Amino acid sequence: MSEDLTLNDIQHDMQGALLNPSECSDVFIHYVKPSARLSARAHLGIYQESYRMRLQQCMAVQFAALKYALGDELFQLFVDQYIQAYPSDSYSLNHLGQHFACFLEETRPDAKRPVRENWPDFMIELADFEFSLNRLFDLEADDEGDVATEADFDEQLKLLPVFALFQHQFPIMDYYQRYNNDERPELPFPKQSCSIVIRHRYRLGLFDLNFSQYRFLELLKKEGSIDQAKQAMQGLFGCEQSELDAMWLQWRKKWIALGFFRK
């Protein structure tokens, strides 16, 4: 044991032993005192095992539906590899899974095959969706404003401060909701889907949309007013004013009831 060993050396070597046990444990083990009941390696092993399991548990909370979809064993395997590839660099555990969807894309098993399988796309979309829910849940915003009613004019309607629109190749929202309702859903076939997640009074609401509704809300988000969103819809799809007005009246009633708008 070197007498020149500094605090810095010890910490770097211990972190190495936690993050890369097979490669770095042999150096660090010489710093550890055995005890009456445990060898130095057994003492270190407690930290190594806890590091892996602690982050596994946190990822399982953040990606509960994905864990169900992949199965416990495959999920753990992916998480172990993910933590190795993207060790946490944030003091906040809420950021732990921020690169997980990207990691699944980078490491998809069919990456080099000429024909790609469907299921990795589903898992990647689901991972991205679950992490987005976490992000929306904690976003800084005041949810206390007055909710719009049907008596309010279109000019008064504003989308809630926290919401996100999603367009997926798979029915992600449906799968997620069925998982949450303990319906044990099967892996779905590809099917284009659109949805919106809103945060209303600090709680998240998940709603399916059809493609027209998705496009309209996307334009509303961009343009800022109902009138401008309608004009943009007409420009894009060439639909009749009367047809659009009739659709808007239906959407308006439903979305106001669901709490999409503030005034």
Q: Is residue 140 at the binding interface for other proteins, with CB under 8 A as the rule?
A: yes
- Looking at the Cβ atoms of 17 and 244, the one nearer to other proteins is 17
Work out how close the CB of 33 gets to other proteins at its nearest, in angstroms, rounded to a whole number: 5
x/- contact string, 88-127, with other proteins (CB under 8 A)?
A: xxxxxxx-x-------------------------------
* Of 102, 69, 60, 31, residue with least CA distance to 175: 69
Q: Is residue 242 at the binding interface for other proteins, with CB under 8 A as the rule?
A: no
When binding is defined by CB under 8 A, the residue of 21, 24, 27, 47 that contacts other proteins is: 47
Tell how far CA 143 is from the center of its chain: 21
Task: Determine contact, residues 188/174, Cβ cutoff 8 Å.
Answer: yes
C-alpha count within 13 angstroms, C-beta hemisphere, residue 198: 21
Structure tokens of 223? 């343009």
Pick the piece of the chain touching other proteins (CB under 8 A) from 185-193, 203-211, 225-233, 239-247: 203-211
Phi-psi region at 112: left, alpha or beta (left = phi > 0; alpha = psi -120 to 50): alpha
Structure tokens of 101? 């969807």
- Taking CA atoms, 7 is separated from 13, 16, 31, 35, 43, in Å, by 10, 14, 11, 22, 19
Task: Determine contact, residues 157/261, Cβ cutoff 8 Å.
Answer: yes
Q: Which residue has the tokens 């998705």?
A: 214
When binding is defined by CB under 8 A, the residue of 20, 23, 26, 42 that contacts other proteins is: 42
Q: Is residue 7 at the binding interface for other proteins, with CB under 8 A as the rule?
A: yes
- Looking at the Cβ atoms of 39 and 225, the one nearer to other proteins is 39
Q: Is residue 20 at the binding interface for other proteins, with CB under 8 A as the rule?
A: no
Pick the piece of the chain touching other proteins (CB under 8 A) from 85-93, 104-112, 148-156, 237-245: 85-93
Q: How many degrees, rounded to 5, is the angle at CA 141 between CA 140 and CA 145?
A: 165
Other Cβ atoms within 10 Å of 116 Cβ, number = 12
When binding is defined by CB under 8 A, the residue of 67, 130, 209, 262 that contacts other proteins is: 130
| Total number of residues shown for the chain | 263
When binding is defined by CB under 8 A, the residue of 4, 36, 113, 186 that contacts other proteins is: 36
Work out how close the CB of 187 gets to other proteins at its nearest, in angstroms, rounded to a whole number: 20
Q: Is residue 22 at the binding interface for other proteins, with CB under 8 A as the rule?
A: no
How far is the C-alpha of 177 from the C-alpha of 74, rounded, in Å? 22
Q: Is residue 151 at the binding interface for other proteins, with CB under 8 A as the rule?
A: no
C-alpha count within 13 angstroms, C-beta hemisphere, residue 153: 4
Pick the piece of the chain touching other proteins (CB under 8 A) from 26-34, 69-77, 219-227, 245-253: 26-34
Name the residues that contact other proteins, by CB under 8 A.
Answer: 1, 5-8, 10-12, 14-15, 18-19, 30-33, 35-38, 40, 42-44, 46-47, 49-51, 53-55, 57-58, 60-62, 64, 87-94, 96, 130, 133-134, 136-141, 143, 162, 180, 199-200, 202-206
